[in-house]
């Protein structure tokens, strides 16, 4: 073994606080250290994920306190998959933003990487913790670093976006705390497995109220409509790689938290239907709002919200296929959306207003970026043979197996809308005349950014041509999510602890 | 290595290599392009036998590729036309920007079409279908004209069709637990009536879009005319046939098993008939030859759909035969337009006239294709149309015969407009510098044109494979006694009955042609359109007096009520309404943080109020 | 303190915490000034903290500290977990408030106003 799951949280947290100190020694280290940390985390989580798939889940206790008393971390196929995904994306975000725009200066770079490390630590914490209050703390860590990263550019808009995000985030944390208070007062425990095993004893009214507060609190992070007012603003005003991190890391953590609540903690079957309905509403509102956007990143933001809605619909189907499809969607979204954000932010790099209209003819000036963007667009609307197709197919197939034909129709109609706005952009890039004044030299992304995009593009193609590369992991993960009893037993009997 | 997979690897690798070679100077990319079309096609003809399959598993689905007799017929179209158009394209696309991008998409289109025909399971069918869609979409927008209207319209319609098909596929999967086309066909009679209706309708929407069936055709004129002509010949000739291919399977293997589903066939046949009439009428009205051919394609596909929809043995055979013929002559005609556009810079029938002496070989190819299109013996178009009429009369569709006959007669008008407009008539001095297109463009056209003639005289060449295909679809074997099927075939089998007569007609025709040419050669005076000696009017300098100007005005006054309503307008209105609606609904995001907070509170309060209903 | 009084008191404290939360929500939802909104968020936090503490309180409870000689007092200890939670939540609330105030300063520099409905350049 290379290490224990706790390192996945501890190391980035440590790195975040060490970065400014190290910066005093050699300024470049501020940029290098996060990369090393993220690479280590990626290797660690991938190894652990392999170990877990062979030997069963790892339950790690903190400071020797046994569950249900102490805080414990659960590294199962599901959480391990998400943690690996997040570390990988974190690494790519680091790679892309190594010398990103304002990052060339020391001070902004220092802040940027501190908050990026905190963001990733928080998101991974949300996923692998086995304690709801601990989860709350990680949500807040993620939130605060996300507010700071949104306000990374010093313009007026970023402050505005950040403030809206903060307002919603503060409300979210209030609702979460109330929900936790209700659960604790009723069950006297904060351990997820313990809560799950005792849930049937709880008064149904309190149970439902707690669930509602949980859904609201986490739904704000998971961008459920109508709780997602902050999301388009934050995505638009945050730097491109941060937008990618939001889409790929933060939202994933939020969605994980919701489904963990509904699948494992609460035994309310109708909550699945609620997920389907709310997911569909999110999907439809977001995608229709994206249709007439003028700013590229805002369009991507709405698209991202819509994808999350689709993920929630897929989870709401509740069967193995549904969960599998949802996880597949999450994976694809985490691969594709960062590519869109990376290449999109490079395409509009020189423009002040980041308008889509300014992208006319950029395909001739920046062919590689345009090609990456188009690849991402093709993949996200689900055209074969790219990655998005398989996940869309599995969602539809899962819905068909449950006889939910109306859902299929709605998803497909929305997909058409998605195609329209993505292809409008692709058309502009490639097939319209260059409109900006010639003097503006096209922005050439640095090598590190190119490598990051290449990795994502290759991932899209690999998943597209050979989906079996990932389906095994996803099947394991979805089995893990659905098997609530095993989760409870493993945690309460301490499974296999690395510490002992 | 299995030949089937080898073919696709060569296509795919060839596409990528050709694209990369585009960064280099020289003719490497042309060579690679031709090789990556040529090699798989040769492999297909030499090493692929019907019934050979290749299976594998991926993503939890079973995949199976192999060729059936039916798909073999269509594969002949794809491979033959694809090869010819590839040779043509190399010359036609020379000196254009981004040629390697064109080549890339061209190879992918050919690959995906063969892939569709190879697919024995619905998933790979859909995957290849979508590759075909986006590669053809990239070709439609390739020239950068009207991309936001024509291109998007094409893609929206394709996407609607493809998604309808995808929905059908997942429903089928949930019902049968298998993605195989064969198992669908086997278990289809056992489905509930709703599913028996839903699945064919969804599939037909998908196929109808690609084959430009009436309410779904609005993308076609723009898309066909905006793609490079080298591609349009494949686009209209072969790609639209993929819709027909799917339709044949659905009509024969699924719809005939619906209890009391006879009216379904009638509906499809009538839609095809209406498509034929409207396509033809609109074609006559066009002044741009590309648009003319595009509408003509819609009309011709209408005939094919009538044949496939009626579904009697003769009708089906005529439909498939028409499909092959249409690929040949429409492929030729698009190439002709491409050649003319390349040499003169325009494809407008009211500008280009009198090219017969400038581009004689192109004229010859166009002449053959037009004769086949108009359905004049002895070319293939005649036989296929005859079979169609006979089958319609034989199955008591008298009204439909009238419709088809009207459309067929009206088609003469645009045939004439096309041929006369471009090649005959007075010569404009503007075009005196025009030369014949390069040999690499002319030869493929002539090959295709001659093959329309060959198939017209020896229809057995293509009717035998069609016959085999129809046997696997469950029709009786007509091998060797085609004459029982239609009076047009004689008892030697497989050859048209009137062959002696036909030869006589050809003889007389050739005699008069030579006679008139020799006689007329001396007396002909070459004049421009402005040189009107017969009438008293003196034309002004800028007056357009070409033949095609205001062609058939009285006719249009007669049919005007038919053409007043354009479906296109309804679609556009719908799309604009939707955009306005969505533009309105996105104002939910007011930009005021407090409003968002209010949404949260309202959300919670609503959930708390209705908690028993929602979570009860 | 008799049971009756304790119950009333407990009820009162619960009521007070909920009242605080509602007051805070009122401020967040209706006050225009950014500063007042942040104050409202802090009030909500305060209410929730009070709620949490109250949940963990026992009648006549003592501080949850084990010390030699007072082992039998374990039964009388208040639940320590909510207190730990509240401590953490206070820290977090403090952090959020600090970030919010710093953002307000920046917003004021750019917009020269603190009215929330005048700060909506990002919309739709």
* Sequence-ordered list of residues with C-beta below 8 angstroms from that of B504, at least 6 positions apart, any chain: none
Residue of C34, C39, C93, C99 best to disrupt the A interface, most CBs of A under 10 A? C99
B323 has pLDDT over 70: yes
3-state secondary structure B130-177: HHHHHHHHHHHCCCCCCHHHHHHHHHHHHHHHHHHHHHHHHHHHHHHC
The confidence score (pLDDT) of residue A121 equals 92
The alpha carbon of residue A355 is apart from the nearest alpha carbon of chain C, in Å, by 13
Which range has the worst mean pLDDT, B80-94, B103-117, B143-157, B509-523? Answer: B509-523
Contact B608 A163 (CB under 8 A): no
Instruction: Report angle CA A301, A305, A307 to the nearest 5 degrees.
Output: 115
Residue of C106, C108, C111, C116 best to disrupt the A interface, most CBs of A under 10 A? C106
pLDDT interval class at B528 (50, 70, 90): low
Looking at chain A, which subunits does it touch, using at least 3 CB pairs closer than 8 Å as the criterion?
A: B, C
Contacts of C44 in chain A (CB under 8 A): 170-171, 174
- The C residues from 88 to 107 touching A (CB cutoff 8 Å) are 88-89, 92-93, 95-96, 99-100, 103-104, 106-107
The residue among A22, A249, A52 whose CA lies nearest residue A149 is A249
The residue among B371, B398, B367 whose CA lies nearest residue B382 is B371
- Element housing B66 (H / E): strand B61-66
Report helix, strand or coil for C123.
Answer: coil
Residue A320 near residue A263, CB atoms below 8 Å: no
Cα separation, A67 vs A70, whole angstroms: 5
- The C residues from 32 to 91 touching A (CB cutoff 8 Å) are 34, 37, 41, 44-45, 48, 51-52, 55, 79, 81-82, 85, 88-89
Residue B269 near residue B397, CB atoms below 8 Å: yes
* Sequence-ordered list of residues with C-beta below 8 angstroms from that of A182, at least 6 positions apart, any chain: A206, A209, A210, A213
Cα separation, B285 vs B71, whole angstroms: 36
Of the CA atoms within 13 Å of residue C50, those in its CB half-sphere come to 18
- Phi, psi angle pair for A193, to nearest 5°: -65, -40
Residue B170 near residue A400, CB atoms below 8 Å: yes
Cα separation, A59 vs A51, whole angstroms: 13
Name which residue leads in pLDDT, A316 or B48.
A316
The residue among A113, A122, A135 whose CA lies nearest residue A195 is A135
How do residues C33-76 score in pLDDT, each as one tens digit? 889 999 999 999 999 988 888 877 766 677 777 677 666 666 67
Enter the DSSP assignment of A73: E
B54 has pLDDT over 70: yes
How do residues C89-121 score in pLDDT, each as one tens digit? 899 899 999 999 998 998 888 888 888 888 888
Residue of A160, A169, A236, A299 best to disrupt the C interface, most CBs of C under 10 A? A160
Residue C79 lies in a domain: yes
Q: Take residue B381 and report the two structure tokens written for it.
A: 């178009």
- Element housing B55 (H / E): strand B53-58
Q: Name the residue ranges covered by the structural domains of chain A.
A: 270-465
Distance, first Cα to last Cα, chain B:
60
Contact A160 C120 (CB under 8 A): yes
DSSP lists the bridge partners of residue A131 as: A191
* Sequence-ordered list of residues with C-beta below 8 angstroms from that of A451, at least 6 positions apart, any chain: A95
Cα separation, A115 vs A149, whole angstroms: 7
Cα separation, B470 vs B248, whole angstroms: 10
DSSP lists the bridge partners of residue B496 as: B489
Residue whose entry in the numeric block shows the structure tokens 């079957």 = A269
Contact C122 A236 (CB under 8 A): yes
Contact C122 A155 (CB under 8 A): no
Residue of A288, A306, A319, A321 best to disrupt the B interface, most CBs of B under 10 A? A288
Residue B175 near residue A404, CB atoms below 8 Å: no
Residue C82 lies in a domain: yes
Sequential DSSP letters for A13-53: HHHHHHHHHHHHH-TTHHHHHHHHHHHHHHHHHHHHHHHHH
* Interface contact A388, partner C, CB < 8 A: no
* Interface contact C123, partner B, CB < 8 A: yes
Residue whose entry in the numeric block shows the structure tokens 């602890």 = A497
* Interface contact C29, partner B, CB < 8 A: yes
Residue B305 near residue B352, CB atoms below 8 Å: no
Residue C124 lies in a domain: no
Q: Take residue A190 and report the two structure tokens written for it.
A: 């904060």
Number of B–C residue contacts, CB under 8 Å: 31
Measured CA to CA in angstroms, residue A486 lies from A201, A261, A371, A497 at distances of 19, 16, 46, 15
* Interface contact A177, partner C, CB < 8 A: yes
Measured CA to CA in angstroms, residue B475 lies from A427, B313, B316, B395 at distances of 46, 7, 10, 16
Query: How many domains does the structure of chain C reveal?
Result: 1
Number of A–C residue contacts, CB under 8 Å: 96
What residue in B sits closest to C27 (Cα-Cα)?
B594
Contact C85 A166 (CB under 8 A): no
Q: Tell me the Ramachandran region of residue B160: left when phi exceeds 0, alpha when psi lies from -120 to 50, beta otherwise.
A: alpha
Count of C-beta atoms within a 10 Å radius of residue A263? 22
- The B residues from 532 to 591 touching C (CB cutoff 8 Å) are 586-587, 589-591
Cα A7 to chain centroid, rounded: 20
B570 has pLDDT over 60: yes
The confidence score (pLDDT) of residue A496 equals 43
- The A residues from 199 to 228 touching C (CB cutoff 8 Å) are none
Contacts of C103 in chain A (CB under 8 A): 147, 151, 159, 162-163, 166
Buried b / exposed e over B76-86, threshold 16 CB at 10 Å, is bbbbbbbbbbb
Contact C123 B589 (CB under 8 A): yes
The confidence score (pLDDT) of residue A310 equals 92
The confidence score (pLDDT) of residue B207 equals 92
Residue C22 lies in a domain: yes
Contacts of A292 in chain B (CB under 8 A): 579, 582-583, 586
Cα separation, A149 vs A237, whole angstroms: 10
The interaxial angle of helices A468-482 and A484-492, nearest 10 deg, is 70
**What CATH number corresponds to the domain at position C72?**
1.10.287.3510
Residue of A212, A319, A327, A417 best to disrupt the B interface, most CBs of B under 10 A? A212
Q: What would the mean pLDDT of B172-179 be, rounded to a whole number?
A: 87
- Element housing B409 (H / E): helix B398-423
DSSP lists the bridge partners of residue B57 as: B62
pLDDT interval class at B161 (50, 70, 90): very high
Report helix, strand or coil for A423.
Answer: helix
Cα separation, B445 vs B342, whole angstroms: 15
The confidence score (pLDDT) of residue A291 equals 87
**Tens-level pLDDT at each residue, chain A (500 residues):** 557 888 888 888 898 888 888 888 888 888 888 888 999 999 998 988 888 888 878 887 776 666 667 788 888 888 889 999 999 999 999 988 887 766 667 788 888 888 999 999 999 999 988 888 889 999 999 999 999 999 888 877 888 889 889 989 998 998 998 898 888 888 888 888 888 888 888 888 888 889 999 899 998 888 888 888 888 888 888 888 888 899 888 999 999 999 888 888 888 888 888 889 999 999 999 999 888 888 888 899 999 999 999 999 999 998 888 999 999 999 999 999 999 998 888 888 766 667 887 777 777 778 888 889 999 999 998 888 888 889 898 999 999 988 888 999 999 999 999 998 898 888 888 877 776 665 566 667 788 888 999 999 999 999 988 888 888 888 888 888 888 888 888 887 754 444 43
Contact B589 C25 (CB under 8 A): no
Bridge-based pairing state of the strands B53-58 and A72-75: unpaired
Bridge-based pairing state of the strands A58-61 and A72-75: antiparallel
The confidence score (pLDDT) of residue C97 equals 92
Looking at chain B, which subunits does it touch, using at least 3 CB pairs closer than 8 Å as the criterion?
A: A, C
The confidence score (pLDDT) of residue B498 equals 57
The confidence score (pLDDT) of residue A436 equals 62
Enter the DSSP assignment of A261: I
Residue whose entry in the numeric block shows the structure tokens 């008191």 = C9
* Interface contact A156, partner C, CB < 8 A: yes
Contacts of B148 in chain A (CB under 8 A): 424, 427-428, 432
The alpha carbon of residue C25 is apart from the nearest alpha carbon of chain B, in Å, by 9
Residue B419 near residue B370, CB atoms below 8 Å: yes
Cα separation, A277 vs A286, whole angstroms: 14
The residue among B50, B397, B441 whose CA lies nearest residue B228 is B441
Cα separation, A58 vs B335, whole angstroms: 67
Residue B68 near residue B468, CB atoms below 8 Å: no
Measured CA to CA in angstroms, residue A25 lies from A20, A97, A347, B120, B505 at distances of 9, 22, 36, 65, 98
Measured CA to CA in angstroms, residue C41 lies from A175, A181, B249, B394, C83 at distances of 12, 18, 65, 82, 20
Contact C100 A236 (CB under 8 A): no
Domain of residue C93, residue span? 3-118
What residue in C sits closest to B596 (Cα-Cα)?
C29
What residue in C sits closest to B586 (Cα-Cα)?
C124
Report helix, strand or coil for A395.
Answer: helix
Contact C96 A236 (CB under 8 A): no
Nearest CB neighbour to A237, from listed C99, C120, C122: C122
Instruction: Report angle CA C106, C111, C116 to the nearest 5 degrees.
Output: 90
């Amino acid at each position: 073994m290379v290490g224990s799951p706790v390192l996945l949280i501890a190391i980035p947290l440590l790195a975040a606080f060490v970065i400014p100190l190290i910066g005093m020694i050699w300024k470049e280290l501020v940029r290098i250290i996060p990369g090393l940390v993220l690479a280590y985390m990626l290797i660690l989580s991938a190894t652990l994920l392999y170990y877990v798939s062979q030997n069963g889940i790892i339950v790690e206790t903190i400071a020797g306190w046994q569950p249900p008393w102490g805080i414990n971390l659960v590294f199962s196929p599901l959480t391990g998959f998400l943690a690996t995904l997040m570390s990988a994306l974190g690494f790519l975000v680091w790679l892309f933003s190594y010398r990103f725009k304002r990052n060339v200066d020391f001070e902004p770079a220092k802040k940027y990487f501190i908050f990026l490390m905190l963001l990733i630590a928080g998101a991974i914490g949300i996923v692998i913790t086995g304690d709801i209050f601990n989860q709350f703390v990680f949500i807040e860590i993620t939130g605060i670093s996300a507010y700071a990263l949104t306000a990374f550019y010093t313009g007026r808009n970023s402050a505005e976006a950040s403030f809206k995000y903060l307002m919603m985030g503060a409300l979210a944390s209030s609702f979460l705390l109330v929900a936790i208070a209700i659960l604790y007062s009723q069950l006297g425990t904060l351990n997820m497995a313990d809560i799950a095993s005792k849930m049937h004893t709880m008064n149904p009214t309190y149970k439902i109220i707690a669930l509602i507060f949980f859904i609201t609190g986490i739904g704000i992070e998971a961008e459920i409509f109508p709780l997602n007012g902050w999301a388009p603003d934050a995505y638009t005003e945050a730097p491109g790689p941060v937008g990618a991190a939001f889409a790929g890391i933060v939202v994933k953590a939020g969605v994980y938290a919701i489904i963990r609540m509904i699948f494992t903690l609460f035994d309310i079957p109708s909550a699945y239907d609620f997920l389907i309905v709310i997911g569909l509403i999110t999907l439809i509102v977001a995608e229709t709002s994206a249709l007439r956007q003028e700013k590229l990143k805002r369009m991507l933001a709405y698209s991202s919200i819509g994808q999350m809605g689709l993920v929630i619909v897929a989870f709401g189907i509740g069967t193995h296929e549904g969960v599998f499809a949802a996880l597949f969607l999450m994976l694809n979204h985490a691969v594709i959306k960062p590519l869109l954000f990376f290449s999109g932010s490079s395409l509009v790099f020189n423009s002040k207003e980041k308008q889509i209209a300014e992208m006319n003819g950029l395909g001739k000036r920046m062919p590689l970026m345009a090609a990456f963007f188009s690849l991402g667009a093709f993949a996200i609307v689900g055209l074969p043979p790219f990655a998005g197709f398989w996940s869309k197919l599995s969602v539809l197939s899962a819905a068909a197996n449950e006889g939910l034909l109306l859902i299929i129709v709605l998803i497909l109609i929305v997909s058409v809308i998605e195609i329209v706005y993505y292809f409008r952009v692709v058309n502009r890039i490639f097939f319209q005349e260059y409109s900006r004044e010639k003097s503006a030299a096209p922005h050439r992304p640095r090598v590190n950014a190119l490598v990051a995009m290449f990795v994502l593009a290759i991932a899209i193609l690999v998943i597209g041509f050979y989906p079996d590369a990932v389906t095994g992991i996803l099947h394991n993960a979805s089995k893990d999510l659905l098997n609530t009893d095993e989760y409870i037993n493993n945690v309460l009997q301490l499974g296999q602890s690395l510490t002992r | 290595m299995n030949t089937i997979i080898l073919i696709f690897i060569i296509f795919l690798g060839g596409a990528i290599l050709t694209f990369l070679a585009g960064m280099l100077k020289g003719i490497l990319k042309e060579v690679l392009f031709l090789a990556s079309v040529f090699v798989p096609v040769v492999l297909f003809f030499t090493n692929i036998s019907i019934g050979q399959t290749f299976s594998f598993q991926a993503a939890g689905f079973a995949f199976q590729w192999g060729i059936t007799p039916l798909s073999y017929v269509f594969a002949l179209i794809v491979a033959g036309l694809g090869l010819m158009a590839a040779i043509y394209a190399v010359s036609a696309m020379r000196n254009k920007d981004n040629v390697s991008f064109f080549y890339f998409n061209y190879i992918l289109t050919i690959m995906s079409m063969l892939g569709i025909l190879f697919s024995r399971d619905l998933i790979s069918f859909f995957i290849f279908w979508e590759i075909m869609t986006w590669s053809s979409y990239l070709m439609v927008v390739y020239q950068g004209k009207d991309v936001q209207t024509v291109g998007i319209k094409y893609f929206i319609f394709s996407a609607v069709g493809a998604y309808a098909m995808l929905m059908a596929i997942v429903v089928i999967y949930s019902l049968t637990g298998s993605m195989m086309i064969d198992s669908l066909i086997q278990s289809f009679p056992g489905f509930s009536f709703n599913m028996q209706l839903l699945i064919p309708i969804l599939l037909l929407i998908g196929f109808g879009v690609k084959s430009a069936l009436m309410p779904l055709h609005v993308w076609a004129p723009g898309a066909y005319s905006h793609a490079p002509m080298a591609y349009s010949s494949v686009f209209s000739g072969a790609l639209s046939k993929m819709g027909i291919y799917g339709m044949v399977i659905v009509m024969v293997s699924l719809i005939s098993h619906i209890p009391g589903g006879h009216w379904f066939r009638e509906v499809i046949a009538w839609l095809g008939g209406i498509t034929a009439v409207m396509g033809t009428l609109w074609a006559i009205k066009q002044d741009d030859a590309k648009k003319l051919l595009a509408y003509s394609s819609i009309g011709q596909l209408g005939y094919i759909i009538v044949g496939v929809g009626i579904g009697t043995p003769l009708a089906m055979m005529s439909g498939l035969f028409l499909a092959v013929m249409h690929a040949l002559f429409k492929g030729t005609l698009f190439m002709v337009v491409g050649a003319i556009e390349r040499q003169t810079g325009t494809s407008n029938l009211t500008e280009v006239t009198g090219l017969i002496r400038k581009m004689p070989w192109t004229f010859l190819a166009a002449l053959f294709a037009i004769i086949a299109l108009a359905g004049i013996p002895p070319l293939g178009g005649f036989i296929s149309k005859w079979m169609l009429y006979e089958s319609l009369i034989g199955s008591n569709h008298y009204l439909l015969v009238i419709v088809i006959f009207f459309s067929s007669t009206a088609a003469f008008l645009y045939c004439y407009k096309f041929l006369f407009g471009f090649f005959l008539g007075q010569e404009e001095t503007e075009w005196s510098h025009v030369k014949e297109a390069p040999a690499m463009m002319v030869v493929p056209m002539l090959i295709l044109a001659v093959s329309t003639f060959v198939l017209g005289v020896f229809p057995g060449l293509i009717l035998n494979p069609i016959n085999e295909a129809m046997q696997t679809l469950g029709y009786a074997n007509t091998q060797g006694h085609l004459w029982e099927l239609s009076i047009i075939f004689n008892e030697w089998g497989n050859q048209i009955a009137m062959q002696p007569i036909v030869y006589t007609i050809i003889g007389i025709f050739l005699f008069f042609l030579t006679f008139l040419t020799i006689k007329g050669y001396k007396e002909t005076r070459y004049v421009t359109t402005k040189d009107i000696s017969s009438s008293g009017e003196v034309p002004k300098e800028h007056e357009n007096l070409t033949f095609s100007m205001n062609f058939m005005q009285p006719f249009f006054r007669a049919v005007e009520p038919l053409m007043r309503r354009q479906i296109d307008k309804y679609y556009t209105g719908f799309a604009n309404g939707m955009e306005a609606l969505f533009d309105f609904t996105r104002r939910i995001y007011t930009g005021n943080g407090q409003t968002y907070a209010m949404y949260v509170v309202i959300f919670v309060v609503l959930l708390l109020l209705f908690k028993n209903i929602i979570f009860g | 303190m008799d049971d009756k009084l304790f119950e009333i008191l407990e009820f009162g404290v619960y009521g007070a915490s909920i009242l605080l939360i509602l007051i805070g929500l009122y401020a967040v939802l209706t006050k225009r000034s950014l500063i007042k909104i942040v104050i409202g968020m802090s009030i909500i936090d305060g209410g929730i903290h009070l709620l949490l503490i109250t949940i963990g309180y026992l009648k006549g409870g003592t501080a949850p500290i084990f010390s030699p000689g007072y082992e039998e007092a374990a039964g009388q200890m208040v639940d320590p977990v909510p207190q730990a939670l509240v401590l953490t939540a206070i820290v977090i609330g403090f952090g959020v408030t600090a970030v919010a105030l710093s953002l307000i300063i920046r917003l004021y520099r750019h917009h020269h106003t603190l009215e929330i409905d005048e700060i909506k350049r990002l919309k739709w």
